[in-house]
Amino acid sequence: MAGLNTPKSLASSLYSINKKNVAFSKRLAKNWIVMATKQQEDGLSLNALTSSERRDEVMIAAKSSLSNCLSETNLHHTIPALKSKTRGKVRDIYDGGDYLVLVTTDRQSAFDRVLASIPFKGQVLNDTSLWWFNQTNHIAPNAIIAVPDKNVTIAKKCVVFPVEFVVRGYVTGSTDTSLWTVYNNGVRNYCGNALPEGMVKNERLPANIITPTTKAADHDVPITPQEIVEQGLMSQADYDEASRKALSLFEYGQRVALEHGVILVDTKYEFGKGADGSVLLIDEVHTPDSSRYWLAHSYQARFQNGLEPENVDKEFLRLWFKDHCNPYEDKVLPHAPQELVTELAWRYIFLFETITKSRFQIPDTTEPIHDRIARNVSHALASLNN
């Protein structure tokens, strides 16, 4: 393709990025030891996650809201300004002419399919992303225009790159494309990253790495940076810029998370190209849907004793489904137990409150969620279009 760098220049640019990445990881490792020691003494513990008045309050509210989850929206039927709807795994995306209206539902996805609906999930994901978007604007400009509702973001239209930038700091995971699964199967070069011999599950990588995937309709497919450029999915320049932003965002997220007692283990970013040619951060940032989090204070001791880290994400729900079915092949999945659904609602809220140091507002259920969203979106679009 005209204007694209050769594989040789691609390798050179990746080598340069990797050198910087290794240097950062060495600095982060030193900081981690100091901060983890402090957290061991007075930091976040499993007790805060599993036993507290706040947990009891959220669990009661979640249980009473199980029948009021936002599993589906159809705003285009009631708001004339919305032209069409695209249903994602979690978000319903509406074409609003000059804007996109993204509604974050309570749908819970994993294994490339929807598993359940989780009370308050859409709101807490929207809240979490908004906080991180505001915190990271100095690293990567984003497409956010307005947040007219607790579950809704209005964004600039842009050309979305058909690539997910998965950034990893540890060898872990349970899905078919997780780094531990492929590593345990003998793979030592994954998505263009050379992996050292002798690593064990949940071990920290020598440096943060990007393992890109294509945004396929039914499942994500791992791909190398060279293949991304050769297949015309992104230009060399756009890939280089997006990958730099992804690594910087992840490094910043790791630092902020660790300051609040949790480890940002891995995450994914999505980018698009704005009308002015700028590379914009889109979709979501550092949510427990797109990221894996562990409690920092206990990680080292548990790792040294061969125990799984204490996680604050959806991993325990993934594991439940893997134990009770084949989530990749079974056409019909079992219903997730009520206690797991409400526990996940609490974990998402716990993580939001822990990192942002703000209190999650449990929604008022007197007005149906869909009616509230339709009213707020309609008013917002009218204001934007005037």
Write out pLDDT tens, residues 330-354.
989 898 899 999 999 999 999 999 9
Residues facing residue 193 across a β-bridge:
190
Contacts of 242 (CB under 8 A, 6+ apart): 161, 163, 165, 234, 269, 271, 279
Short-list 91, 93, 89, CA closest to 114:
89
**Residues constituting the chain:** 386
The SS3 call for residue 369 is: helix
The tens digit of pLDDT for each residue in 160-177 reads: 999 999 999 999 998 888
The tens digit of pLDDT for each residue in 301-333 reads: 999 999 999 999 888 888 889 899 998 889 898
Count of CB atoms situated within 10 Å of the CB of 234: 23
What pLDDT is attached to residue 270?
A: 97
pLDDT top residue among 51 and 296: 296
Tell me what the mean pLDDT of segment 276-280 comes to: 96
What pLDDT is attached to residue 177?
A: 83
Give exposure, 76-93, as e/b (b: 16+ Cβ within 10 Å).
beebebbeebeeeebbbb
DSSP for 332-355, written as a single string: SPPPPPHHHHHHHHHHHHHHHHHH
The tens digit of pLDDT for each residue in 193-222 reads: 999 999 999 999 999 999 999 976 667 899
Structure tokens at 46: 């499993």
Mean pLDDT of the chain: 88
What pLDDT is attached to residue 4?
A: 34
Cβ atoms of 255 and 28 within 8 Å: the answer is: yes
What pLDDT is attached to residue 46?
A: 62
**Residue 192, pLDDT above cutoff 80:** yes
The tens digit of pLDDT for each residue in 93-111 reads: 999 999 999 999 999 988 8
pTM: 0.86
